[in-house]
A and B are shown apart, each in its own frame.
Chain A
Amino acid sequence: QVQLQQWGSGLLKPSETLSLTCAVYGGSFSGYFWSWIRQPPGKGLEWIGEINYKGITNYNSSLKSRVAISLDTANTQFSLNLSSVTAADTAVYYCARIFAYEGYWVDSWGQGTLVTVSS
């Protein structure tokens, strides 16, 4: 059973860069997409972007100029960087595994990391 464990900076000042990492335990990178999804306090879910096991990325156009997702296959980890953060980026950030064959769904989630942007 795959497990995703995430960590990273929880408190940022405006204009700083958010950095989160997600480690994948008990599963392979191959054949899946690896994604980041966020949820502002009390609000719904927003898909940030994804990377596949070949390193091909797709990003939400609303964040595309500020976001980068990368893969570390040697350590079965993937990371999110979001630059120039503002208070609007305050949210719980989840890493997720995507099954994308004859469909597309999240079948495993990280535990979530609350990131607060405040001066």
Chain B
Amino acid sequence: DIQMTQSPSSLSASAGDRVSITCRTSQSVSRYLNWYQQKPGKAPELLIYVASSLQRGVPSRFSGSGSGTDFTLTINSLQPEDSATYYCQQGYSNPRTFGQGTKVEV
């Protein structure tokens, strides 16, 4: 199984800040890496797919980068509604593993 390591596990930042979350995979997943946002009591929502493609309807302050084993989710100009837990997921091979999550507090 491909292991996923996200860092940090949590962060606190102010509205307007720029924050980055890193996801590292135990082996190359090419660009098959996705990012999701989950708010308490809700299902996750897709933000970014294939490393850097922005899902329709997601604000442009969210962006993704990386390939191989190292990926980054960046949130520019952090907003209060961005308080949530963020997960990466590899789509390269079964089982389609997720990172352990990064809790962002604004």
Contact = CB atoms under 8 A, between A and B. Distances in A.
Contacts of A106: 34, 36, 44, 46, 89
Interface stretch (B16-24, B74-82, B91-99): B91-99
Contacts, number: 60
A102 B50 contact: yes
A89 B59 CA distance: 35
B46 A107 contact: yes
A15 to B, nearest CB: 25
Interface in A96-112: 99-100, 102-107, 109-112
A61 interface: yes
Interface residues of B, number: 24
A interface bracket (residues with beta carbon within 8 Å of B): 20 to 34
Interface in A30-54: 35, 44-47, 50
A109 B36 CA distance: 11
A103 B49 contact: yes
A60 interface: yes
A5 to B, nearest CB: 12
Nearest to A63: B95
A113 B26 CA distance: 31
Contacts of B99: 44
Given A47-B98, A105-B91, 19 more contacts: A44-B87, A44-B98, A45-B44, A45-B101, A47-B96, A58-B94, A62-B95, A94-B43, A99-B49, A104-B34, A105-B50, A106-B34, A107-B49, A107-B55, A109-B44, A109-B45, A110-B43, A111-B43, A112-B43
Interface of A: 35, 44-47, 50, 58, 60-62, 94, 99-100, 102-107, 109-112
